[in-house]
Every structure is written in C-alpha cells, then in structure tokens.
Amino acid sequence: MQLDVFSSRPLLGNPLAVIIDAEGLDTPTMQAIARWTNLSETTFLLPPSSSAADYRVRIFTPKQELPFAGHPSVGSAYVAIEAGLVSAAKTSLIQECAAGLLPVRVAGEGASRTIHVQAPAARLHPLDTAMINALAGALGVELGAQQASLVDNGPQWILADLGDALTVRALMPDLSAIARLCEELSAVGVSVFGRSHEAGIAMAMRAFCPADGIAEDPVTGSANAAIAAFLLDSGGLATFGNPYRVSQGREVGRDGYVDVAVNAFDSTITVGGSCALSLIGQLTL
C-alpha cells in the first residue's frame, strides 16, 4: 500500500510505501525496493520476534535503514490495521522496530482514524561553536548557542530554533553545506522551527536531508519528536503549549500536520496524525 501520512487528504502529507508481506525479502532487496520507490521512506511489515509486539517493521530511506522514523511508524501502523494484520478494534498496539518496542495509540476509525506513536527516548548533544557557525552559514541565519543542538532519538537530527515561522518559511538553505554537516555529524538531516501565529498551529517546521537523497522532507515525525525533546530540555515547551500542532510541508506543496504531546509524568513524547490511503497494489519481482 502507499499512503500519505500526516494528512487526511490524498496527495498531501508525506508519502510512504509499505510492503505488507515482507517475509522472505533479504536486506539488500529491501534496500533496492526503497531505492526504487524513491520516497523518503519505505517500510516492510514482518511477524514480530517479540511476543509483546503486534507487528515488526523495518524502515528504509533510499540509502540506508533507520532504527526509527515517525511518519513510517504512523503509516505502518495504519496499514497493519487496514491490511488486517492487527485488529481494527484495538486502540493500543506495540510496534517492534530496530529502536525497540514502541507503544502506538489508535484513535477513531476508518477515514477519521489517527495514529500516535511514542518516540524512543532522546539523547541531546550540544554543538560546539565551530559547528554552530557552520550550521548558521548553511542556513544563512545567525544562531546562538542555545538555539541549536544535536538530538538522537534513533536517527540523529541537527536542530535550529529560528524563532518565528516567517523566518522558517522564507529560508533558502545551502543544501550542499547541510549535506557536508550531516555527514560530519552522522545526522540524517537538519530541522528548523519557529513559533506560528496561525489559529490552531503552534509551530512551523522544515527538515532538510540532502545527504540522504531528500532535499526537503515533506513531513517528519522523528524530527518533530526531537524538537519536543529539545524544548523539554531547554524549558522552551511552554512557548508552544502541550500538546501542540506543527505545520510542515507547505514549501514543497504537501501541507501536513503533526500533533506532538509530551507526557507530564514520564516525559515520553508522542507524534501522530491522520493518514490517507492512496494506492493498493502488488509488487512483482
């Protein structure tokens, strides 16, 4: 199946290809399929190896396998339900992936169904002055030490708080410089964000992943979870509220929306939203 994640309407959000019956495919074949679909991610549904899990998923970009990614996790859970791999009556699932066992919450049903996945625990790493200067140069902005960080929640993201949504939306970064920086820090991409003043939208966000073959990712679950971890650590969460909604993808014609929540008791972070199923087919190899 192919679907659009973080959108209730087809042809928006972030497209995802999900191979439902992936048993028997080896890793090189999975990578070749992900390269062929040429989407930011392709996932493969497999029987769980843990008795605690409802299903297992492997996640690939066109160039590499990821331990966790947000929109593939949301979309894979949606497809697991649509394909009958798990009961549509269940409201709580456990996804097994390379990052471990992750809780998934299902709300609503049918076209109104939303999926919310708990991101892996994040580790924050400060950037030194040279890296902050390199990031500022790649983005074409000025950055202070408190505005940037490297966050690892499965993939590694370089984050930059640009303050305001207008700055985020107008940004024209040097993608070659971003690719070099990501390669140096072993990061999947650079994500920038700022406060939005639109009704119902707390944040505007963009994610650039040129080193991974994706100039700008349409809508990004793991990066949004990484931003929430950064805000929680820095005390900036109150600026956006909790939970809050993120707008991402307008600059590439996708207009997706991600709902982010931080649990007040254990600081776990969930990202979620709608999905729109757009294609059902059979892959012949």
pLDDT tens string 161-205: 999 999 999 999 999 999 999 999 999 999 999 999 999 999 999
Q: What's the rounded Cα separation, in Å, for the pair 251 and 249?
A: 5
Closest Cα to residue 203, out of 226, 186, 184?
226
The pLDDT, as a whole number, for residue 110 is 83
Closest Cα to residue 152, out of 76, 77, 236, 66?
66
Residues of the chain where predicted confidence (pLDDT) is lower than 50: none
The pairing of strands 256-262 and 269-279 is antiparallel
The pLDDT, as a whole number, for residue 213 is 87
pTM of the model: 0.95
The pLDDT, as a whole number, for residue 111 is 82
Domains of the chain: 2-119+273-279 (3.10.310.10), 123-267 (3.10.310.10)
Task: List, by residue number, the catalytic residues.
Answer: 41
